[in-house]
Amino acid sequence: MSGALRLLVVALVAALTGSTAWAAAPELKDANRHSFALVIGSRSYRHTGEIAFAHNDAAAIRQFLIDDLGYRPDNIALFKDATYGQLLRWFGSERRPQGKLFRSARAGRSNVFVYFSGHGVPDLKTRAAFLLPTDTDPDDISTAYPLALLEKNLGLIKTKIGPQRRLIVMLDACFSGSGSRGGRIRIKGGLIPNLSPRPEIIRLSAAGSGQFANEDDGAKLGLFTAKFLAGVRGAADSNDYGRRDGVVTWAELARYVREEVSYRSERDLDRRQVPEMPADVPLDWRFKVAARARLVAPSAVRPLPAKPVLLQAEQAYQAALKVAYGSGAARDDKRAFALFSQAAAAGHIGAMAWLGRTYLSGWGTKVDGTKARMWCEKAAAAENPVGMACLGDLYRQGKSLEQNFTKAHEWFQKAADKGEPWGMTGLGALYHDGTGVKQDYTKAREWYEKAAAKGYGIAMLNLGFLHRDGHGVPQDYKKARQWFENAATKGDAIAMNKLGSLYYNGQGVPQDYAKAREWYEKAAAMDNATAMSNLGILYRDAQGVKQDYTKAREWVEKAAEKGEANAMTSLGLLYANGHGVPQDYAKARAWYEKAVAKGEATAMYNLGVYYDEGRGVERDGAKAANLLLRAAKLGEEHAQSDLRTNLAKWHFGTRRALQRKLSELGHYSGAIDGNWGPASRAAFEAYLTAR
């Protein structure tokens, strides 16, 4: 878990039964009338960070003992934030190994359940591991409680309660270490290095060696604990893991916990956590699902019936939607693509539509217009609105189909009529751009608003553009910011970048480079190349950060490699000026040329200067003139200003080439003499305003 170590130790001796909807069965109450539990949840520490859900873990386990196992409440000792003295008193010491827990267990009668949730620390020299009391400094483990001692003293308890009573040690833990105050130190070669194997003790561990034990933010519990309790209470009897016969076998529970914890940790937290839970435990405990379930011995297990294919497809489809709509660590495009593919192959219509969309957008796979068309056509033929909207976008973009805005409009309209926000947004985009229909910002806004009301992030983003640019509405940067923020909450990286630009430029908000950087970083974390380029500019120009040409180069290189034209220009400037790299006009020119190929105006101006001056290239007035005029036409301020008022800076050959080019375009009829007088200036203005 993040920033801290949680350790959960459970010594479990019980007939286990799970359901929160009913009281423990009478036979369990009888079996556990002498059972005893020690439950500890240590959240708040004096010398290190807290364990957010430790108290919740303890409370959930206590309730589980009462409701599901039939433990008597007065036989459960509950501690929150256990001190060193309390651990010694209950677990025992080296000199006095028989602590209060030992004395509370009845020989031959008690099942004993010990639960500890809190920090743990390793000793890197001896490879020993310790429970951390709340009053102990993690940098001084002399007053931490050794796990080896706990193992030894639990062995005494096991001997006392006898062979008919079972002992389970359950660890929801990672040994990341806190000796360096927040640093993470992983111990190799075993989760608890000094615990010796004892066949009479069954151990369940939340994570393997060197892995992190994570938390379940939704359940507000440790992830391993949450899934263990869910499995006992019926989830392990579901289609994916069990037989749906009301019986949870130990093997089913072990499989459920291992697979669910492993999947959730990688999907939600991008961390590997694979529980160690033996599946071949010879138990006759009975786990109830609702009022009819039992955990039976392995010999009573019936063969697993075949699962309906479409039900499997629906499960894959729903799982794919969850990760496709996620943000940050919760979003996993590659897994979504795999799950959509699985469900589509099994005949799921919705998955076919979404698979087409992944191919169209390149989510988790390469862009492939042909495959996008194939899957979207199949879905649309079955009246699926996402498939219809997908076809609309294929026609709008001209991917694998001849670009046809009329057909795009038709498909978007069909999808919108079925309530699909993608179709509504597509219609809005056609009216926004005036493609296939007369440009109408009001209609664009109306369609965007309908889609936004359904929570569609792209529509929110486009509404932000309308308000930012004053298209169909009065220009209003504050409303633009609100819509961009709404889209950003949906995980839209473009919106995050646009929010950064509003703060960068002080539009609708006070200018704030720090907040601009925060939004750029969020967008860059989602692979937005423009945001990466913008971060590079912040570091280059020392805006809100200390000037750092190396970081500037790193960010603009990342963006340039993704095809971001502005980043290519910025990278060219770094090479031109020798900032963060050796000065190299040839490399600068190469990057400018790449940016020019993408229509970037500043690169055109800079490259025009190179050809005018012969900087890193042979002087060429014709090439310089062409580049300068193109840059000016695109609104590049330096190009426009220089060609209006500062012609003296340009080489004579470039001025003649400018006159010649303007003459060829029909704007100039004077002498090609390099003298930039009123006639030449008038020709330049005519060029700028010509369509």
* pLDDT tens-place string over residues 103-116: 999 999 988 888 88
In a domain, 186, yes or no: yes
Rounded Cα distance between 218 and 33, Å, is 34
In a domain, 27, yes or no: yes
What is the amino acid identity at position 690?
Answer: A
pLDDT in tens, 525-539: 988 999 999 999 999
H-helix segments, 637-677: 637-645, 652-664
In a domain, 31, yes or no: yes
Is pLDDT larger for residue 182 or for residue 621?
A: 621
Rounded Cα distance between 9 and 510, Å, is 52
- Structural contact between residues 67 and 24, judged by C-beta atoms closer than 8 angstroms: yes
In a domain, 91, yes or no: yes
In a domain, 58, yes or no: yes
Q: What is the pLDDT of residue 123?
A: 66
Rounded Cα distance between 475 and 467, Å, is 5
In a domain, 75, yes or no: yes
Instruction: Write out the H or E segment, with its range, that includes residue 595.
Output: helix 585-597
Q: Read off the CATH number of the domain in which 182 is found.
A: 3.40.50.1460
In a domain, 84, yes or no: yes
Q: Is 501's pLDDT higher than 60? A: yes
Full domain range(s) for residue 131: 7-226
Residues 593-613, mean pLDDT to the nearest whole number? 95
pLDDT in tens, 428-438: 999 999 999 99
pLDDT band at 168 (very low <50, low <70, confident <90, very high): confident
In a domain, 210, yes or no: yes
Which residues, in sequence order, are bridge partners of residue 205? 171, 276
* Number of domains within the chain: 1
Residues 82-98, mean pLDDT to the nearest whole number? 91
Q: Is 553's pLDDT higher than 90? A: yes
**36-41 and 76-80 beta bridge pairing:** parallel
The structure's pTM equals 0.55
